[in-house]
């Protein structure tokens, strides 16, 4: 019998990407889909050109309805998880909960899913009765897919990172705000007379427009366009941002490393004005000195999405930019070279689509395992 799968938060950005991928992969053929809503209960189920889901949206807060499901997959966000998950579990529901939100990630009876990396842990977890599966933080998942081979062969002593994270990671209203910021500047830039002024005059005017009281910045608090924001998420007591803290803690949880064998990972997370691709620059201290050729081989052989980009300008511009990766499952990794600091120090740069491998795809694949 087909498993009854409830979809919550399927209309949002991550949820929509998830549904699109499921339609592409024809995943809906293998499940009985039940769609829920927190705000539009009773309206018609979603309709796609090649897939119709007859029936009406159910109440995402109705515990009795949720209890009928074998699997729940939610992209509704933290508040929903916090509110519904404990009640549902304490009501005795023992179905599978697959979640995009971060709340349950570090729970001891939850697994962070990224199957190209931790497929065996997922299999063992299902066997051992684990019922809660959570997608990792996007930066973490994208880093792990890119460096999978080095993690798998236990070659990494530590990683220091700088990230260049897209607006989409903050949520859809942030992308809109970034576009509004562009629009706001355009009121000046689109005037014919603007470009007859000297470049320093234009630059001065543009800068003063970004300081305008009406400049759209309700969400980001400051302009992101023509700027960057070296702080993502809340603050940790040790001076890290929470996004930075997640890199080491989630990575080691995904790898199930023992306490004395933890991979040390730290650095700075930065928001930039790309739309949906996160980029990351790494300095990696290797446990042993291995040749660059061997490193490239280890990286490329790890999973079918990672691709080593040769370290030259032409290939980098063609294949190692957010715009060349957006909307794909590709994980290019390039700028690979040994640093002048020493032969165990590797430099690398990688990019991934924050909504695909960074959010929806690990959840889609987890659902597929369960059905
Ligand atoms: N925390 C990420 C970001 C979102 O702000 O870019 C992906 O989990």
Residue identifier of the C-alpha nearest atom 7 of ligand 1: 138
Residue identifier of the C-alpha nearest atom 5 of ligand 1: 169
Residues 6+ apart with CB under 8 A from 109: 130, 131, 132
Measured over the CA atoms of residue 187, residue 190, residue 192 and residue 195, the dihedral's sign is positive
Q: Which atom of ligand 1 is nearest to the CA of 278?
A: 6
pLDDT tens-place string over residues 101-111? 999 999 999 99
Residues 27, 306, 166, 172: what is their CA dihedral angle, to the nearest 10 degrees? 0
Residues 6+ apart with CB under 8 A from 311: 334, 335, 336, 337
Q: Which two tokens stand for residue 302?
A: 């790890």
CB of 165 within 6 A of ligand 1: the answer is yes
**Residue in the structure block whose two tokens are 């949520």:** 171
Q: What is the mean predicted confidence (pLDDT) over 112-130? A: 97
pLDDT tens-place string over residues 327-360? 999 999 999 999 999 999 999 999 999 999 999 9
At 258 the pLDDT is 83
Question: Residue 168: is its pLDDT beyond 90?
Answer: yes
At 49 the pLDDT is 79
Q: How far apart are CA 332 and CA 297, in angstroms?
A: 14
Q: What is the mean pLDDT of the chain?
A: 97
Question: Residue 210: is its pLDDT beyond 80?
Answer: yes
pLDDT tens-place string over residues 42-52? 999 998 877 88
How far apart are the CA of 114 and the centre of ligand 1, in A?
16
Q: How far apart are CA 139 and CA 246, in angstroms?
A: 9
CB of 169 within 6 A of ligand 1: the answer is yes
> What percent of the chain clears pLDDT 70, i.e. is strictly above it?
100
- For the chain, list the strands marked E by DSSP: 3-8, 31-37, 47-48, 51-52, 58-59, 71-74, 96-99, 110-113, 132-135, 156-164, 264-268, 277-286, 306-308, 331-338, 345-353
Q: What is the mean predicted confidence (pLDDT) over 311-322? A: 98
Q: Which two tokens stand for residue 185?
A: 């500047």
Question: Residue 25: is its pLDDT beyond 90?
Answer: yes
Mutate to test the pocket of ligand 1, among 13, 14, 104, 138 (most ligand atoms within 8 A of CB): 138
Identified catalytic residue from 75, 121, 269, 278: 278
At 116 the pLDDT is 98
How far apart are the CA of 357 and the centre of ligand 1, in A?
12
Measured between alpha carbons, how far is residue 371 from residues 10, 225, 367 in Å?
A: 19, 43, 6
At 260 the pLDDT is 81
CB of 358 within 6 A of ligand 1: the answer is yes
Mutate to test the pocket of ligand 1, among 18, 170, 250 (most ligand atoms within 8 A of CB): 170
At 289 the pLDDT is 97
Q: Which atom of ligand 1 is nearest to the CA of 169?
A: 6
Q: Which among 235, 241, 353 has a CA at the least distance from the CA of 305?
A: 353
pLDDT tens-place string over residues 228-283? 999 999 999 999 999 999 999 999 999 999 888 899 999 999 999 999 999 999 99
Question: Residue 64: is its pLDDT beyond 90?
Answer: yes
Question: Residue 142: is its pLDDT beyond 90?
Answer: yes
Question: Residue 80: is its pLDDT beyond 80?
Answer: yes
Identified catalytic residue from 75, 138, 269, 277: 138
Residue identifier of the C-alpha nearest atom 4 of ligand 1: 169
DSSP string of 163-228? EEB-GGGG-HHHHHHHHHHHHHHHHHHTSGGGGGS-HHHHHHHHHHHHTSTTSS-TTTSS--TT--
At 259 the pLDDT is 81
Q: Which atom of ligand 1 is nearest to the CA of 166?
A: 6
Tell me the whole-structure pTM to 2 decimals.
Answer: 0.96
Question: Residue 120: is its pLDDT beyond 90?
Answer: yes
Q: What is the mean predicted confidence (pLDDT) over 114-131? A: 97
How far apart are the CA of 214 and the centre of ligand 1, in A?
27
Active site residue 278: yes
Contact 81, 110 (CB under 8 A): no
Largest CA distance in the chain: 71
CB of 250 within 6 A of ligand 1: the answer is no
Question: Residue 70: is its pLDDT beyond 90?
Answer: yes
- The neighbour count for residue 21, using CB atoms within 10 Å, is 18
At 100 the pLDDT is 97
Question: Residue 362: is its pLDDT beyond 80?
Answer: yes
Active site residue 269: no
Q: How far apart are CA 256 and CA 112, in angstroms?
A: 10
Q: Which among 30, 33, 28, 27 has a CA at the least distance from the CA of 55?
A: 33
Q: Which among 142, 116, 366 has a CA at the least distance from the CA of 243?
A: 142
pLDDT tens-place string over residues 146-158? 999 999 999 999 9
Residue identifier of the C-alpha nearest atom 6 of ligand 1: 169
Residue identifier of the C-alpha nearest atom 2 of ligand 1: 169
At 82 the pLDDT is 98
Q: How far apart are CA 36 and CA 68, in angstroms?
A: 13
How far apart are the CA of 354 and the centre of ligand 1, in A?
8
Q: What is the mean predicted confidence (pLDDT) over 201-215? A: 96
């Amino acid at each position: 019998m087909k498993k009854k799968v409830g979809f919550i938060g399927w209309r949002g950005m991550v949820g929509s990407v998830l549904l699109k991928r499921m339609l592409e992969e024809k995943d809906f053929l293998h499940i009985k889909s039940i769609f829920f809503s927190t705000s539009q209960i009773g309206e018609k189920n979603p309709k796609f050109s090649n897939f119709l889901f007859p029936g009406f949206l159910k109440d995402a807060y109705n515990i009795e309805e949720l209890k009928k499901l074998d699997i729940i997959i939610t992209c509704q966000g933290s508040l929903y998880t916090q509110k519904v998950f404990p009640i549902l579990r304490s009501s005795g529901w023992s179905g599978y909960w697959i979640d995009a939100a971060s709340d349950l990630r570090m729970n001891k009876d939850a697994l962070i899913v990224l199957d190209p990396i931790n497929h065996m842990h997922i299999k063992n977890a299902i066997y051992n009765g684990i019922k809660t599966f959570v997608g990792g933080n996007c930066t973490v998942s994208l880093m792990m897919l890119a460096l999978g081979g080095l993690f798998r062969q236990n070659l990494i002593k530590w990683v220091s990172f700088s990230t260049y994270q897209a607006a989409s990671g903050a949520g859809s209203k942030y992308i809109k705000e970034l576009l509004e910021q562009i629009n706001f500047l355009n009121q000046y830039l689109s005037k014919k007379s603007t470009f007859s002024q000297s470049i320093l005059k234009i630059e001065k005017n543009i800068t003063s427009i970004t300081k305008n009281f009406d400049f759209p910045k309700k969400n980001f608090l400051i302009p992101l366009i023509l700027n960057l924001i070296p702080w993502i998420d809340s603050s940790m007591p040790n001076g890290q941002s929470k996004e930075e803290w997640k890199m080491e803690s989630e990575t080691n949880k995904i790898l199930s490393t023992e306490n004395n064998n933890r991979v040390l990972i730290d650095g700075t997370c930065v928001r930039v004005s790309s739309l949906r691709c996160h980029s990351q620059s790494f300095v990696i201290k290797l446990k042993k000195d291995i040749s660059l050729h061997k490193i490239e081989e280890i990286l490329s052989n790890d999973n079918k999405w990672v691709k080593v980009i040769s370290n030259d300008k032409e290939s980098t511009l063609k294949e190692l930019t957010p715009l060349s990766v957006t909307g794909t499952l590709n994980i290019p990794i390039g700028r690979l070279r040994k640093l002048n600091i020493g032969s165990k120090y590797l430099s690398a740069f990688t990019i991934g689509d924050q909504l695909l491998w960074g959010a929806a795809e690990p959840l889609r694949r987890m659902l597929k395992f369960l059905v």
